[in-house]
Structure 1
Amino acid sequence: MKINIRRAAEELPLGLLLEADPSERLVRTYTRRGQCFVAEAEGDIAGVYVLLPTRPDTVELVNVAVAAHLRGKGIGRQLVLHAVQQAARQGYRTIEVGTGNSSIGQLALYQKCGFRIVGVDRDFFIKHYEEAIFENGIPCRDMLRLSQDLGGVR
């Protein structure tokens, strides 16, 4: 699998990005401001993630998505670890990520990749999304914020 930055002339993998974030308005906004990385396997898009600078020395991993037929094969983990390495190579000191309170699998993945919970944005998904989101039978209301220090990452 190869992971490369998406060039401006290349089509945005919008369908896949919308699987991780159902707001097309938000996806289009942060993909314009951030760097979109696309993973390809055997000529097909396997996954995607976006790095978005937020503050000096800090970047946020705002969208990680894996093609449905390839889930459960470790691609999400490869994408997250690639994002951490990219952020470190680009000179960031901190990488952050947010996930829904109902995103149990994603929360476990981020922690396995070295992220630690640092806060909660209460009612984030109620305030910023028009339609209710449910995952794992749980209403998605709050965004759990996680962070990782990049001091030792290369």
Structure 2
Amino acid sequence: MVVDQGVHLRLAEPDDYGRIVGVVDDWWGRPIRSILPRLYLDHFHRTSLVVEDGDGLAGFLVGLLSHSMPDTAYIHAVGIAPHLRGNGLARRLYQQFFDLVAAEHRTKVKAITSPQNYGSIAFHTAMGFTVIGPVADYDGPTVDRIVFQLQLSPATG
């Protein structure tokens, strides 16, 4: 899809799962592998993205089209190799996802994070997402979440 500055951005494939879960805990700095079961790449690889560079996996975005909300897409997990952060790679992944879902006539993109994930909150705010929350008990008792929503404009897609 996109090739420049030594990186290649492409649609994910189910076989990318092993590489992603092999680094995700290290990249996030805590155990999060359990929130990313294989089913995401088995069933949503056509709306998920992988970035590779000369060293291998450089980043990924796992996203899906909501079947319950036909105007909505959801970003479930994103990771960028720590040594590549701050160079716009996550922004490129998000923009490519926006283009993919706009082509499917989706006008909203949603995502969530924990209230303690200040980096994620700042990133999503900078990307133009509306921030809602923290929403108490979003993921069960005492598990609050920040909810992000972005309204895609015709120019986005």
TM-score by length of 2: 0.75
Q: What is the Cα deviation at residue 43 of structure 1?
A: 4.9
1:64-79 matched pairs, under 5 angstroms: 64-79=78-93
Match of 2:120 in 1: 106
Match of 2:152 in 1: 150
If asked which structure has higher relative contact order (CA below 8 Å, sep 6+), I would say 1
Q: What is the Cα deviation at residue 141 of structure 1?
A: 4.4
Letter in 2 for 1:24: R
Q: 1:11 to 1:79 in 2, by over 3 A?
A: closer
Q: What is the SS of the residue equivalent to 2:90?
A: helix
Q: How many residues align?
A: 141
Q: 1:114 to 1:141 in 2, by over 3 A?
A: same
Q: Work out the CA distance in 2 between the residues paired with 1:41 and 1:27.
A: 23
Letter in 2 for 1:26: I
Q: 1:57 to 1:75 in 2, by over 3 A?
A: same
Match of 1:63 in 2: 77
Q: Work out the CA distance in 2 between the residues paired with 1:145 and 1:41.
A: 31
Q: 1:147 to 1:80 in 2, by over 3 A?
A: same
Unaligned runs of 5+ in 2: 1-6
Superposed CA offset, 1:11-53 (max 9, x none): 3121334445844343114333323310112252110001122
Q: 1:121 to 1:53 in 2, by over 3 A?
A: farther
Equivalent pairs: percent with the same residue? 22
Q: Work out the CA distance in 2 between the residues paired with 1:40 and 1:85.
A: 19
Match of 2:33 in 1: 24
Q: Work out the CA distance in 2 between the residues paired with 1:83 and 1:16.
A: 21
1:66-145 matched pairs, under 5 angstroms: 66-124=80-138, 127=140, 141-145=143-147
Q: Tell me, yes or no, if structure 1 residue 5 matches structure 2 residue 15.
A: no
Q: Work out the CA distance in 2 between the residues paired with 1:151 and 1:74.
A: 21
TM-score by length of 1: 0.76
